[in-house]
Structure 1
Amino acid sequence: MIGLGAVGAFLAVDLGAVAYANRWIGSDGTRKVFLDGFRTVNGPQLGFRKNHAKGVVVTGYFESNGNAQDLSRAAVFRPGQVPVVGRFSLSGGDAHAPDTPGAARGLGLAFGFPGRAQWRTAMLNLPVFPDNSPRGFYDRLLASKIVPGTGQPDPAATKAFLAAHPETAAAMAIIKKHPPTTGFGDSTFRSLNTFYFVDHADVRTPVRWSLVPQQNTAPSPKPGDTNGLFDALIRQLQGGPLRWHLLITIAEPGDPLTDATVGWPADRRSIDIGLLTLTGVATEAPGNARDINFDPLTLPDGIEPSDDPLLSARSDIYAASYRQRTGEPKSPSAVQVTEVGA
C-alpha cells in the first residue's frame, strides 16, 4: 500500500508538464514533428502514450542501503524506504499490438513523494540504446513503418537508414548478442544515458544505473495470448513481490558520457545501492501511473543530467506527448489485470 497512497499526488505535479509542453511546442515545432511521426507510423492511438503505448501499472517501494550517500546527496539514497509508482511497457506506439518477445521492454519509475526529492527514471532492458541523437531516433521511427500486406518495414527504407546511421547499425549488433529473457520479471533494466551523482561538496561523478532482478526466472507467456508478456508478469506478481537490486556503475576517464549507443567496459566499478520491491499491479486507469509522465529530467537535488542530447529531447517529447494524450478521449487498456487468472 505504500505505493498506492502516493499515486494521486504524482498526478498533480504532472500538470506542470502541460505548461512546459506549451512553451516547447511554441518554439520551433520540433516536438510536433515527432508527434506527427508517431502518428504517421502508428495511427492516432488516442489517449495513449505515443511510444511505449502498451503497459501495466505497478506499485511498491525502494529501500536504500545508504551506499550511495558518499556520491550523492539525494534524499532518496538515505537509508530507509520511499514509495515507488511504476509502469512496465513494450516499445512501439500501438497500444493494442500483440506482445512480441523481441520488443524492447520498458520500466518507468517515480521514487519518493511528489514535490519532495522526487526522482523519475525510464529504463530499457537493452544493453545499449539504438540511437545517439534525436534525429537518429526520428529517422529510425519513420523507417520502421509497416508496409501494408507484408507486416514488415520496407527493406529499402531500413537499408537506407542503417547506411545513414552506422552508430545504430553497430548498436543493433550489440543488442542482437544479448537476447531478451523470458519475461519482465527476470529482465535487467538500464538507464543507458549517463547522469551525474553530486555529493555535498558538489563533486560530480558520472554514472549509469541498472536494476538487476533478484528472481532468476519468469513464467513463459501462454501460446496464443496476445498479452502474453504482460499476463505472465501479472501472474508472477499475484504470487508475491518481485525485487531488483539497484546498481550504479561509475565511469572512468575516456568512457563515453554523451553516446548511449556505446556501453562501458564490463570491469567498471558497480555499487549496489538498494532494493526495489514491487508488490502491486493494476490496469492503467485514471488516478494511477497511466497519467504519470516518466520524465528522465525530473531529478532530485543530488542527481544531474549529462550533456547527452537524448535526455533533453526525451524530456521535451514526453511533455508534448503528455499534453496531447491528456486532451484526447480515453479507451480501455489492452491489458486488464482482473481478467488474468493464475
Structure 2
Amino acid sequence: MKKSAHGRYWPWPPGPGVLAGLGATGLVIAGVAGAFAYTGGLLSPGALTQTRIIDRFQAINGVHPGFRRNHAKGVCVTGTFASNGLGARLSRAAVFAPGSVPVIGRFAVGIGKPFLPDNGTEVRSLALSFRPAGGEEWRTGMNDIPVFPVKDAEGFYALMAASAADPGTGKPDPARMKDFLAAHPETARALALIRARPFSTGFANASYNGLDAFRFVDAAGRSTPVRWSMVALDPFVAQTPPPAGARDPNYLFDDLVARLDAGPLRYRFVVTVGQPGDPTGDATLPWPAGRQQVDAGTLTLDHVEAEGPGNCRDINYDPLVLPDGIAASDDPLLSARSAAYSVSFTRRAGEPKTPSEVQPPPARPAAADLPKTGGEP
C-alpha cells in the first residue's frame, strides 16, 4: 500500500469555550470551521506561510503527537466504487469506466483534539482514496455541509482572529465577530445556508459534498466544471439534542460500527454539471438549483477498523492528487490545502503514534472463513 509524502489537516476548531459567547452564530462556526480547516487555506505569499498557519492551529488546539492537525478523531473504512459508465461522458478518468475499483476511506469529525466527546454540531467528513488499476490514484475530502463559510484563506485567517478567545475573559469578543461578518457578507450568506439544514444523527445517513469545484476532462479534451457529492442511501434523520449526559462520548463512531455490522453502507456518486457563469472559484456560493446531475455509480463501504500502520491513518487526502481526466479549478483553496497538508504531515509523521480514541471491535469472520463443523458439507 502506497504511503503519502504530504500532509493532512489543520487543527481547528478551537477548544471548548473559545466560541461559547457567540450564541447561535458561534455554534454554527464551531461546527463549520472544522470543515474549512479540513480544506485549509494559505495567505498571500509574503504575508503568512502555511507553516505559521499550522503553528497558530497548534496554539489553539495544542499538539497531540501522531494525530492530524484537524479531523483528528476518525476511523478507517474500505470498500469499492462501482462505476455504471455514465461518468465517462464527462471524464476519461479510469474510475468512471464501467467496473469496480477499491477504495480506502476515513470518517471523521471536525475537531482538532482526538479525545473530545462527540456532539451533534460537529461537521461529519468522508475522505476517499480511489485505487484503479494502472497505478493512478484519486483522493477527495468531503463534508456534510452545503458550502464553505469563507471563500479564501484571507477570510479564514480573519475568522480565526474574530473567534479567538480574549486573554482577559477566556471568551470571544462578540463585537469582533460582528465586525468580521460585516466585512465578509459572503460568510453571513454561507452561514445562513449551513444553518438551514440540521446535522444528521450519524455518519451513515449523512451525505457528503466536495464543495470545491473541479473540472472533468473527457476523451476529446473537452473540459466541464463540476462539483460532486456522495448521497447516502440510508434515509436522512436530523440530529436532536439528547438529555444531558445521555450519550456515549463516542456515540457517532459507535453507531457507525453498529450500522456496518448490520450491512454495507452505500452512497450514490452524483456529479453536478456546471454551466457558463457558475462560480468555480468561490466555495461559499452554491450553484443554481436545477443543474444537470449525473449518477456515476455506487460507493459501497463494508469494513471498518481503527487507524493504524498502512491504512487510512497514513494517507494524505490531498485534493490535488488527481488522475488523468480530473483537473483543479480556479478555486484558491485547492492549492492552499495541498501546501498546508505537506507541512502538517511532515510534523505528524515524525511523532510517536498514540492509539486512536475510536477502537472498533475486531471484524467478524466471513462465512467462508469460519471453521467447518462435522455437519457442514
TM-score (norm 1): 0.88
Q: Secondary structure at the match of 1:243?
A: strand
- Work out the CA distance in 1 between the residues paired with 2:256 and 2:168: 32
CA offsets 1:29-85 (integer angstroms, 9 cap, x no match): 611111112112111122111111111111000000000111111011100010000
Residue 243 (structure 1) aligned with residue 266 (structure 2): yes
- Going from structure 1 to structure 2, the CA distance change for 1:279 and 1:90 (only over 3 Å counts) comes to same
1:170-209 mapped onto 2 (5 Å cutoff): 170-209=189-228
Conservation of the 8 A alpha-carbon contact between 1:37 and 1:142: no
Native 8 Å contact 1:219 1:232 kept in 2: no
Aligned to 2:353: 330
Compared CA separation, residues 117 and 225, structure 1 to 2 (3 A): same
Q: Which moved more, 1:66-75 or 1:220-229?
A: 220-229
Displacement of 1:148: 8.4
Contact preservation (8 Å) 1:82, 1:111: yes
| Paired AA for residue 270 in structure 2 | L
Q: State whether residues 185 and 218 of structure 1, in contact with CA within 8 Å, keep that contact through their aligned partners in structure 2.
A: no
Q: Which residue of 2 aligns with 1:263?
A: 286
The amino acid that maps onto 1:250 is: V
**AA paired with 1:69?**
A
Name stretches of at least 5 consecutive residues in structure 2 with no aligned partner.
8-41, 364-377
Tell me if 1:103 matches 2:122.
yes
Residue of 163, 170, 177 corresponding to 2:182:
163
* SS across alignment from 2:86: coil
Aligned counterparts of 2:167 and 2:253: Cα–Cα separation in 1? 27
- Residues 267-286 of structure 1: pairs in structure 2 closer than 5 A: 267-286=290-309
| Residue 138 of structure 1, CA deviation | 2.6
User: How many residues are matched?
Assistant: 322
- Tell me the distance in 1 between the aligned counterparts of 2:111 and 2:133: 28
Task: Give the aligned partner of residue 124 of structure 1.
Answer: 143
Decide which moves more: 202-211 or 38-47: 38-47
Q: Of the candidates 326, 333, 341, which is equivalent to residue 303 of structure 1?
A: 326
| CA 1:271–1:151: 2 relative to 1, 3 Å | farther
User: What amino acid does structure 2 have at the position aligned with 1:206?
Assistant: P
In the alignment, the residues of structure 2 paired with residue 288 and residue 88 of structure 1 have an alpha-carbon distance, to the nearest angstrom, of: 13
Normalised by the length of structure 2, the TM-score is 0.80
Measured in 1, the distance between the counterparts of 2:223 and 2:277 equals 16
Change (3 A) 1:228 1:200: same
> How much does 1:264 deviate?
0.8
Q: Deviations over 1:147-206 (max 9, x none)?
A: 689886443443333233221121111100011121110111011110000011110000
Q: CA deviation at 1:218?
A: 6.8
Q: Distance in 2 between matches of 1:65 and 1:151?
A: 53
In structure 1, how many angstroms separate the alpha carbons of the residues matched to 2:177 and 2:269?
A: 36
Gaps of 5+ in 1: 1-8, 19-23
- CA distance in 2: counterparts of 1:116 and 1:87, whole angstroms: 21
Q: Deviations over 1:68-111 (max 9, x none)?
A: 11111101110001000000111121111111211111110000
SS in 2 for 1:258: coil
- State the distance in 1 between where 2:222 and 2:71 align: 35
Query: Given the superposition, is the C-alpha separation of residues 236 and 151 from structure 1 closer, same or farther in structure 2, using an over 3 Å criterion?
Result: farther
Q: Is the 8 A contact 1:128 1:263 kept in 2?
A: yes
- C-alpha RMSD of matched pairs (Å): 2.5
Alignment match, 2:339: 316
Q: Partners in 1 of 2:122 and 2:111 — Cα distance?
A: 8
Structure 1 runs (4+) greater than 3 angstroms displaced: 141-154, 217-222
CA distance in 1, matches of 2:69, 2:232: 28
Tell me the amino acid that sits aligned with residue 246 of structure 2: P
Q: Which of 73, 78, 95 lines up with 1:54 in the alignment?
A: 73
3-state SS, counterpart of residue 338 of structure 1: coil
Rounded to whole Å, the distance in 2 between the matches of 1:167 and 1:217 is 28
Change (3 A) 1:335 1:157: farther
Q: 1:63 to 1:232 in 2, by over 3 A?
A: same
Equivalents in 2 of 1:234, 1:153: separation in Å? Answer: 36
Range moving further from structure 2, 249-258 or 149-158? 149-158
Question: How many angstroms does 1:131 deviate by?
Answer: 1.3
Q: State how 1:136-147 maps to structure 2 within 5 Å.
A: 136-145=155-164
Q: Which residue of 1 aligns with 2:2?
A: 10
Q: What is the distance in 1 between the residues matched to 2:161 and 2:182? A: 15
Cα offsets for 1:217-259 (capped at 9, x unmatched): 5798993311111111111111110000000000112211110
Cα offset, 1:274, TM superposition: 0.4
Distance of aligned partners of 1:148 and 1:184 in 2 relative to their CA distance in 1, 3 Å threshold: farther
